[in-house]
Structure 1
């Protein structure tokens, strides 16, 4: 596999548990992103889901990564979860302006919606997407099971996303849910992640797959290989 074919990365770039493995033990936290970018060419960057970075932090991210590095930031939770996409124009503009200096490093921005966001909320999603700048590349993660049953809701989403060039995030948690629940770390992660049908859709410019693995990588190989062939 040539990594240049893929934007491949992790949810974050600075886990302390990587010290001595991905990072030299002497690496200061301020250098984690620079070192991470020498191994991976992308990162989800879930930090923006919880809080907006300071302008000087964004500038440092530019300095620490090459131009072909890809950030797939999440929309802030205040937009997706607290406001439910309604009356969020100000918050959206602030978010997009804050990360704009990253320029070519910006990949699909992920709009992760809660499981409570059901098919009858689709008009709200359509209005929100319509209000985004045409230059904004977006991939939406839906978690309500109603979107994963063959029928009218699924067709409406596919049509909406195809018209807007919006990606439909594929959440692949098969590896995670095949793991032993007796493991405390595994069970804690399983409680946080959805277990949904894996049904890839190619409605956006760049398909986004969020793969949550089994702790033993050998169990993941037969799950990952089909993705690499697509």
Structure 2
């Protein structure tokens, strides 16, 4: 029984010297992060396909059970909108090949303008993807959440391809007006959609966005603790990513989420102790 947890990145200035040792060479940052969390969102690949040598470094710094949920480049999802992107996809798959089993899922995040009328393009794209990978899709158009027919169509397309629907739960962020600069920025950038908790596969993936106040973040994730505990009892192996607008405490909060689930499911394997931020001394 395994629950993987992680953050949106593995290096973040507010974590340095507080949660993670500082300074750290670039080739050691992911290794240190991986002592805290056993999954990470691969957001950087959205902006550019990484060099294969860079991905080889990621693999060296993590064990085979570590999970990367790697986002497809925006040239495929946003610019070409899943059409005519065969060369970009081949280059991307070749680059991430060194991750091996660590590539838990390839994440197809679609723009907010990708509407139910575009579902056919998604179906065709999924049919053309190679085997050997799991695929996960995130949609942001409100109709997929408000219209039962649109949601049902998307679920059928995803289920037919063995792909997961990734919810990005921002409901806690939008419960009340922002109270920090980071929250105000998040209000302008994050999708405002209802919470969705249905899993389509045995490897559900959740993205949860809380508030900069840790207590409000913890209070807001209580429904997810219950849902994830139920998934584990059903034999599923979920991955949950914890975000806050400033992400200053996201590393600690991801582990706190794991602890909260384990309180409901004592058989859940605990996370290992993290690398201390300060070097150990004899005195």
- Listed as ranges, the matches of 1:15-94 within 5 Å are 15-94=12-91
The answer on whether the counterparts of 1:179 and 1:215 sit within 8 Å (CA) in structure 2 is no
The DSSP-based 3-state class of the residue aligned with 1:209 is strand
Q: State yes or no: 1:164 paired with 2:165.
A: no
Matched residue, 1:154:
151
The answer on whether the counterparts of 2:49 and 2:92 sit within 8 Å (CA) in structure 1 is yes
Higher deviation after alignment, 138-147 or 195-204: 195-204
- Supply the RMSD in Å over aligned alpha carbons: 1.5
Aligned partner (choices 186, 189, 192) of residue 189 of structure 2: 192
The answer on whether the counterparts of 1:13 and 1:45 sit within 8 Å (CA) in structure 2 is no
The DSSP-based 3-state class of the residue aligned with 1:107 is strand
Higher deviation after alignment, 202-211 or 165-174: 202-211
Matched residue, 1:213:
210
Q: How far is 1:183 from its partner?
A: 1.9
Aligned residues: 227
The DSSP-based 3-state class of the residue aligned with 1:30 is helix
Q: Distance in 2 between matches of 1:29 and 1:177?
A: 35
- Deviation by residue 1:134-187 (Cα, 9 ceiling, x = unmatched): 222111000001111242211111111111111001111122223542522111
Q: Distance in 1 between matches of 2:59 and 2:141?
A: 35
Give the number of the structure with larger relative contact order, counting CA–CA contacts within 8 Å between residues 6 or more apart. Answer: 2
The answer on whether the counterparts of 1:7 and 1:42 sit within 8 Å (CA) in structure 2 is yes
Q: Distance in 2 between matches of 1:180 and 1:27?
A: 37
- Deviation by residue 1:173-217 (Cα, 9 ceiling, x = unmatched): 122223542522111112111010112221134111111111112
**Which runs of no fewer than 5 residues in structure 1 stay unpaired?**
none
Query: TM-score, length-normalised on structure 2?
Result: 0.77
Q: Distance in 2 between matches of 1:129 and 1:220?
A: 34
Q: How far is 1:30 from its partner?
A: 3.0
Matched residue, 1:102:
99
Post-superposition, which runs of at least 4 consecutive aligned residues in structure 1 deviate over 3 A? none
Matched residue, 1:181:
178
Q: Distance in 2 between matches of 1:222 and 1:102?
A: 35
Q: Distance in 2 between matches of 1:116 and 1:216?
A: 31
- Listed as ranges, the matches of 1:115-154 within 5 Å are 115-154=112-151
- Deviation by residue 1:27-59 (Cα, 9 ceiling, x = unmatched): 233321010001100000201000111111111
Query: TM-score, length-normalised on structure 1?
Result: 0.93
**Which runs of no fewer than 5 residues in structure 2 stay unpaired?**
228-283
Q: Distance in 1 between matches of 2:206 and 2:24?
A: 30
